[in-house]
Structure 1
Amino acid sequence: MNDTTGEHGDRGAPGASPGAVWLRGELLDIASAASPDRGPVVVREWTDSVRLRDPAPVGFRSLFLIGMGGGAHPSPSKFGEVLAAFAGAGWTVRPHASDRDGESRATARHEDFEVRVYEGSGSGLLTLTGWTPVVYPELPLSQPPFTLSTAPGVLCGDCHGWRICLDCEGRPYLRYKRCWCATNNAGAGMCVECAGLGFRSSEAASWRRPRQEPHDTDTEGAFPPVTVETGHDSTLRALTDVAQRACTCGEFRCSWRNSLSREGDRLLSRFGGTCQGCGVRRAYAFALPLP
C-alpha cells in the first residue's frame, strides 16, 4: 500500500517502479531464507517525495518496512543469520556498534539500494527498512543525500535534504548579489538552515514540536513511561499496529526501537523512536500474554 493521502503523504506518486518491485521481493526472500520458521510480514510500504525549490515533487523513492520474529516470548537472536543471508545474496553488509544493551544494528547496500537491519532487545523482533534509489520521471538529477525517511533527524525545510543552498547552488555569487548561505561566498554554498547537513537534529527542530506532546524532555536512551495497552498477542503484531499510527504532528515516519521484558506477571513490549516529521520522542507499551 502506498501512502498517498494526508498532509504528509505523497499525493500523485507514481505506481511501483521496477526497482521497488525487485526490492520488496528481495527483502522477503532474504528474510524467509534467514528465518523459515518465522515468516516475514510487510508492516508498511510508502514513498518519499524529492523536491527542489518548488513544492511540487520532482522524484520519488519507495520504502518498505519488513518485520520478522517478535513472538509472544523471548526468542534467540536471528541477527547473524539475516546478515549472512544478505551477504549470500550479494549485498555489502556493515554491522554497527550498538550503544544500547541487547539491540543490534547493521546496514546492507546493493548498488543504490539500502537497508537498515535492526533487532530489538529480548523479543527477537527483527526489522528491515529498505529503500530504492530516487526515480525521476522527467529531470536527470543525481541522488539526494537524504529524503524524509532516511535523514538522521528532521529533513531540512530549506534545502530539502540536498545539503546545499538552493539559491546559489554553491556558486560564489547569485546575480551579482551575496547569498545568505552559511559559507557566505567563501566556498560551496551550504544551506543556512542546516549548515549543509541536509537535516536538523531533534533539538534544533524543537520549535516544530506539538506543545501537547508529553515526551519532549525524555532522554534518548530510555523508553518513556506510557500507558500500557493490551490487545496484541505478539511483538510483531504490536509493531504492525504502531507503524500505522501518526504522531501528533501528523507524520507516521519513525525509526522504531523495541524491548521485551518481564515485569511481574506480564510481558511488556515497549516501542520508542523519534518522529521524522517534528523530532518529538514517541513511545508505546503493550502487555503480551505469558507463554
Structure 2
Amino acid sequence: MGTPRQERQQPRHVLSPQTVDAYLRRIGARRPVRADAAALRELQLRHLRTVPFENLSVHRGEDIVLEDEPLVAKIVDARRGGFCYELNGAFAALLRALGFTVTLYQARVFGDGGRLGIPYDHLTLRVETEDGTGPWLADVGFGDHSHHPLALDDREDQKDPAGVFRIVAGGQYGDLDLMRDGKRQFRIDTRPRDLTDFEAGAWYHRTSPASHFTRSLVCSRLTPEGRITLSGRKLVVTEHGERQERRLSGDAAVLAAYEEHFGLVLDRLPPDPATG
C-alpha cells in the first residue's frame, strides 16, 4: 500500500499528552515505551475490558459526531462506550498519538444466511508497529470478538481466547473475509478511509428500522472470566463458559446495573425497543 494513501489517514490534530494520559487511565494502561506489537496487544485487551460496546446513544437521541476529539471525550470524559464507529475511531486516535500508524478500513458484516450488510457497516483498523511485525487487524468495536489483534497478512488459523480466526480472500475485488470458528464475520475493503466516510453508515444504523441497533438495546463488556451483557432488562453473565441470565426488576435496578458493571452513570434509562 503506497505512502500517499497511508498519509490520508493521518489526523490534522494529534491528541494532547494530557488527553492521551487520561485515555490510558480510563482503560487502566500505562503509556507504552514503544509502539510495538506487545503494546498494541495490551492496549486492545484493556480497552475491551473497560470500555463497553453499547448503543445507548441511538435510543437516548444523542448526537454521534465522527471526529477524534468528540469520540475520545465520550469515552474519557463522559466515561461511556459506543459502537464500532465510535470505539474504533477513538482507539485509532489514541494509537496514532502513541506512535502507531493506523489506517481505517470499511467492512460489511455477514448477517443471517451469509447475507452482507450495507457498505460502511463496520469500521475496523489496520495498525502498523515500530517493531516491523504485522500489519495487524485491531478492533475494539465489534462486541464479542477477538481479544487480541490479528495478523492481517496471515492466511492460516490464528488462535485467540475467543476462538480460532482466519483471514481469507473474499469476493472478487481483493477484499478479505474474517472468519471465526469457520463462520464469516465481516468482509474488509482494504482501501484507506477517513472517519467522515462512515457518516452514512452511522446515520443508517441510528435511524433505519432495518438496523439491528434501532431494534435492540445492548451494553456489553469483556471480563477476565468471560463477558457481561445488559440487553434491556436482561443481565447475562458468562464466566468460564457458563452462562447465567436474570431479569432485573424496576428502573432503579437497571440503572444500578449500568453503573456497577459498566461504570455508566445515567440520569434516565434509554427506551427499550423490545418492549415498545
TM-score by length of 1: 0.28
Q: Which has the larger radius of gyration?
A: 1
TM-score by length of 2: 0.29
Whose RCO is larger (CA < 8 A, sep 6+)?
Answer: 2
